[in-house]
Amino acid sequence: MDTFAIRTEGLTKRYGQLLALDTLDIAVPTGSVFGFLGPNGAGKSTTIRLLLGMARPSSGHARIFDTDARDVRSAHRSLAYVPADVALWPQLTGAETLELLGRTGPGVDRGYRNELVERFALDLSKPGRTYSTGNRQKVALVAAFATRAPLLVLDEPTSGLDPLMEREFQRAVAQARERGQTVFLSSHQLTEVESVCDRVAILRAGRLVEIADVADLRRLHRSQVEVTFAGTAPQLTDVPGVGAVERLGPARLRFTLTGPPAPVLRALATADVTALTVHEPTLEEIFLDYYDEVAR
Ligand SMILES: Nc1ncnc2c1ncn2[C@@H]1O[C@H](COP(=O)(O)OP(=O)(O)OP(=O)(O)O)[C@@H](O)[C@H]1O
């Protein structure tokens, strides 16, 4: 099996004057759950269209395992896809739709599909035209998760799901990972990405602004630290990584910390610290930081 399920090199897409995607280089390790984030218009759907062979790159290329994404017949043997706006055949029932989708993909685990139908509480007897947005999304998700496709490409797949179904979605992603499948997840739901993804790429205005493991992203960003002390306050001026020091009361300080904590621990050790709390940034805070930085 290849090391990477998806690999793009210099992937670029222009629409006339508009550079929708600018020399994107990403590599998605096989077996990982990879989050693909960015504000509206960042180029996420454009990337997905290029990966699916639905659009042609202006330059550069994308590979799905060892196949060029433009070779649709081959590439789609190893992937299943859930679009952001799921359209179903109005006259087919949910059951008929799952059968049809099952025949077009790379094979179906019927036992697992039945289990997913139960878990997602899908009524398969109704025709497609009567399904709500969320239910259409559930049909597409069940069809994709029930395949044995080595790669699942999911484009904002949970925007219409309620919290209970969101939980089932996260379970299904975890099970896909356990089976060794790779999941490429484009999403605006940062808590979801934080709980299911190993690694994320952040895109802005067609350019990659960050690609990192979720755990490393946290380490690289500001944590909030609160410290309570007895007697003299610890000296925090000029301590590497410390910023925005604020006095919260006569014996309490708050500051932000970026990078390794050793210097600040040494500084704190000179005072009589009675309590210390560290709040690591959430993915949402990190994400907003990127946009503040660029907007400034
Ligand atoms: N077919 C097209 N013709 C012209 N411009 C396009 C076309 N498709 C996308 N664009 C433009 O390319 C840019 C990237 O759009 P894209 O749909 O990839 O963003 P996105 O990250 O998926 O956004 P969203 O989160 O809103 O879905 C936008 O400026 C968009 O207007």
- Long-range contact set of residues 106-111: C-beta below 8 Å, sequence gap at least 24: 106/76, 106/77, 106/78, 106/79, 106/80, 106/147, 106/148, 106/149, 107/147, 107/148, 107/149, 108/146, 108/147, 108/148, 109/146, 109/147, 109/148, 110/146
CA 45 – ligand 1 centroid, Å: 7
The span from the CA of 121 to the CA of 179, in Å, is 23
Q: What is the pLDDT of residue 167?
A: 94
CA 43 – ligand 1 centroid, Å: 6
Q: Which CATH class is domain 4-217?
A: alpha beta
How confident is the model over 132-182, as pLDDT tens digits? Answer: 999 999 999 999 999 989 999 999 999 888 999 999 999 999 999 999 999
Question: Mean pLDDT by 10-residue block, N- to C-terminus, for the chain (296 residues)?
Answer: 90 96 97 93 94 95 96 91 86 88 80 95 91 92 93 92 93 96 92 91 93 83 91 93 93 92 94 93 79 58
Mutate to test the pocket of ligand 1, among 11, 17, 37, 44 (most ligand atoms within 8 A of CB): 44
The CATH code that applies to domain 222-280 is 3.30.70
Q: What is the pLDDT of residue 219?
A: 74
Is the CB of residue 122 less than 8 Å from the CB of residue 145?
Answer: no
Is the CB of residue 168 less than 8 Å from the CB of residue 119?
Answer: yes
Q: Percent helix, strand and coil across the chain, each rounded to 5?
A: 35, 35, 30
* Binding-site residues, ligand 1, Cβ < 6 A: 15, 18, 20, 38, 40-46
CA 243 – ligand 1 centroid, Å: 38
Q: Is 6 left (phi over 0), alpha (psi -120 to 50) or beta?
A: beta
CATH 3.30.70 placement within the chain: 222-280
Q: What is the pLDDT of residue 181?
A: 96
What is the number of the ligand 1 atom nearest to the C-alpha of 46? 18
Tokens of 51: 């990966």
How confident is the model over 113-137, as pLDDT tens digits? Answer: 999 999 999 999 999 899 999 999 9
Strand arrangement, sheet containing 223-230: 242-249, 252-257, 223-230, 272-279
Find residue 93's DSSP bridge partners.
127
CATH 3.40.50.300 placement within the chain: 4-217
